Amino acid sequence: MGEEGKKLDRECESEAYGGEGPAMDTPNRNQITTPVSQFEDSPVFNYINSLSPIKTVKSVRISQMFNSFSFTSVPSIFTSPHVNSLKESRFLRRHNFSDPSKPEFSSENGNKIGGNEGVMDVHKSDEQQNFDPDSCIGEASVEPTYECSKIAIEVSQTLSYDHGSPDCGTMPCRGNETKFVSELAGTSGSVVPFVSKTGFLGSGVHLEGIRNIDQNNEGLGCAWESLTSDAADLLVFDSPSDTEAFAGPFQKLQDSRMNLCTALVSEFTHVEIKNTQALGSVGFEQCESENPPSQVGEDSHLKEIEATGEPREQIDNEPISTLNRGMRRRCLVFEMAGARRKHLDDNSSSSSSMLSQSDVNIESNDKQLVPTKLGHDSSRCILPGIGLHLNALARTSKDYNIVSHETLASGAQFINDPTGQEPINKSLAMISVERNMGPTENGVPGMEDVSQASGYIASEEFSQSSPKKKRRRLENAGESEGCKRCNCKKSKCLKLYCECFAAGVYCVEPCSCQDCFNKPIHEATVLGTRKQIESRNPLAFAPKVIKSSDSVPEIGDESSKTPASARHKRGCNCKKSGCLKKYCECYQGGVGCSINCRCEGCKNAFGRKDGSTLIGADAEVEEEEEETEACEKSVVDKSLQKNVIQNIIERNSDSTLPATPSRALVQQPFSIKSKPPRSSFLSIGSSSGFCGNQRFGMPNFLQPQHKFEKQIQAVQEDEMPEILSPISGIKSSSPNSKRVSPPHCDFGAPPGQRSTRKLILQSIPSFPSLTPKH
DNA sequence: GAGTTTGAAACT
DNA sequence: CAGTTTCAAACTC
């Protein structure tokens, strides 16, 4: 394995630097090829070749795919569990398509697995032979080829296989992952493991590689399309449009990818083993949740998903395919952030020790990633969001899951997405990050995004049939995770009225919007509109709730005086709601009103704008009100306390142990009644976590602390500054902070991670502990 | 599920 | 900057 890992790294690097072709010269390639050649020589291989119409791809090509996989996998690592399930489900599904073999690799699986890759390879071989940089792993290369041939032959079967096959079930995926892990560990080099790995990690990358090929060789594009068209059913690649759409984003992606690869690869290798576990879980989830869009066998797959809690949405709709892209993008972002969650979860399941290490590694990855993102596109999602548009995070909150469903719809999207997504996401994320980075927004910005990201995930999971239903589900369950779904009818989701747009994320299936332009397909429009709005109000997409204590001088120092450290950036303007309903952005954000607010009759349970001080004749009335509020608060506080306690416990468990992911358990104050405020979701942590981060890459820690803040405030503040502070090192040194922090910031990051910058947090989106438990 | 209320966002 | 309109979420029934 050691060698393999090195190879992978090399490949990744080569790909990153010269992904499209130059890399070919790398010495690694030779290494890889040799094994492949041997493999090819085998009678089985020959037999397969004879059967398959598709020409066998050289190991080199395969290696590329693996490389890409390995590379891409990194992001997945970061995905939060929820996100993972959803997002990754998409990706995973992609992987599944590509890697049907994962699960058990039974003969069927093996064949199937190769199918996608094989197809991919074929394209490469035809048009991109040059393209392939280095073979990542000798073994991997070998298997792929083998599978490729089989795959070509059985592509149709494979497709059906992936989705329909019971193997696809979560178990299989895990099995594969496990194998993969073992390989990484150096135990076995069976081909299957690689495949599984590729499926996990590389699906996205793999796709990217394909895209690259297309770009490089336009002629290939044709071939690719033809292949896709032929195998469309199988591959699930949907519309050619997707592929085309990818082209644009793809180029962008390359740059970003390059950076990411370089950054990630270095660290990834270190974390690989640990991550693999996480990935395994992730992959597992993905496999389940993300059925490939393939039409075949989805029913069974869907059933499984539902059972799992990750419902899929119809995949068939072409529109969805386009959506998928966006989703993927989100996913990517989210994955970054979400990966952590998954990772954590996995670790939790596996062992606490694993977590600690893995987490650390992850952080490192995140850090690197973040910088990279920044460097390139300069704009992100919140975290996985990265707002989507931005974000990065890709998938933070709400979206990711939702997205996954869409993505599932078409395999093509998967392919495309990987490439396209990352770039976009990165760019988005970058932007978001930058924004977040801004002095004013430092700590807070991320929160909303994160929540959103989480929301995505959740939404995806829940997304199913009618949008309303989806939405409802999301609200009930998904929303808790912070995912956002809009219901826009006239704004085309290109105005701040649209929560998705405002959150910097693309609309996903769960959304019930009409004439929605907030989709990856309309990326240009979205970005243009975004710019417009930003030109009007640079902070338009900034988190509305900022933690005053941290910094954010902008907000008004006064706000910081209020009990809650966080305050609404601009303040509310409520007149009838008394700031006691979610109409009030302050209340919704779980923060008290501040001087910035122009509200009338403020009764904000989180803190009145006038603070404790009552003025004049109103004092008495206010006192009475306060009493009532106090009562209310007490109630709320109790619920909050419970939640907080749970969160803390969970987090502690998570941090130390691989606690179960049940973020569902973690509740936000609002959860009691209807949806928790989105922001609240975020703040809490994100239960779902990761989502928010993705958006702008910023973690939403700061935002809605709600009641939690007060209760935990002391502790949080200690931690919060750390988190928020851009550079603050790792303050978390104190155990308390770590434990305590979870409720607020929970980025899912282990205590140590918190210390990292905001950026890191962004990527970290998830709160492992929050992740829903089985 | 439909209708109402509310306040932010957008517009003037 | 203030007033008005538009919009979609939040809320109620």
A43 falls in which pLDDT band (50, 70, 90)? low
The full DSSP string for A246-274 is HHHHHHHHHHHHHHHHHHHHHHHHHHHHH
CA of A583 to C1' of B6 (A): 6
Residues 286-325 of A with CB under 7 A from strand B: none
CA of A120 to C1' of C7 (A): 46
- Supply the pLDDT for residue A352: 38
A2 falls in which pLDDT band (50, 70, 90)? very low
Within A357-409, strands assigned E span: 381-383, 385-386
- Supply the pLDDT for residue A508: 83
Distance, in Å, from the CA atom of A410 to the CA atom of A145, rounded to the nearest integer, reads: 24
Distance, in Å, from the CA atom of A346 to the CA atom of A743, rounded to the nearest integer, reads: 20
- Supply the pLDDT for residue A51: 63
Nucleotides of B under 7 A from a protein CB: 1, 5-10
Q: Which of A225-234, A300-309, A411-420, A640-649 has the lowest mean pLDDT?
A: A411-420
Maximum separation of any 2 CA atoms in chain A, in Å: 94
DSSP state of A381: E
- Supply the pLDDT for residue A287: 34
Question: Tens digit of pLDDT for each residue in A679-725?
Answer: 333 333 333 333 333 343 333 333 333 333 433 343 333 333 333 33
State how far the alpha carbon of A246 is from the alpha carbons of A207, A286, A394, A412, A456, in Å: 10, 22, 17, 10, 21
Q: Which amino acid makes up residue A59?
A: S
- Which residues, listed in sequence order, are joined to residue A381 by a DSSP beta bridge? A386
Question: Tens digit of pLDDT for each residue in A98-135?
Answer: 333 333 333 333 343 333 333 333 343 433 334 333 33
Nucleotide nearest to A485 (CA to C1'): C9
| Helices A446-462, A399-409: inter-axial angle, 10-degree rounding | 40
Within A437-535, strands assigned E span: none
CA of A597 to C1' of B7 (A): 13
Residue A502: CB less than 7 A from any atom in strand B: yes
Question: Tens digit of pLDDT for each residue in A581-609?
Answer: 889 888 888 888 888 888 888 888 888 87
Structure tokens at A245: 């759409």
CA of A514 to C1' of B1 (A): 18
- Supply the pLDDT for residue A242: 38
Residue A678: CB less than 7 A from any atom in strand C: yes
Which parts of A217-317 fold into alpha helices (H)? 218-235, 240-289, 298-308
| Helices A318-350, A399-409: inter-axial angle, 10-degree rounding | 130
Rounded (10°) CA dihedral A118, A119, A124, A127: 140
Q: Which helix (H) or strand (E) holds A519?
A: none
- Supply the pLDDT for residue A593: 86
Distance, in Å, from the CA atom of A43 to the CA atom of A517, rounded to the nearest integer, reads: 53
| Helices A107-128, A59-77: inter-axial angle, 10-degree rounding | 110
**Does A536 score more than 60 pLDDT?**
yes
Residue A584: CB less than 7 A from any atom in strand B: yes
- Supply the pLDDT for residue A375: 33
Question: Tens digit of pLDDT for each residue in A517-526?
Answer: 888 888 888 8
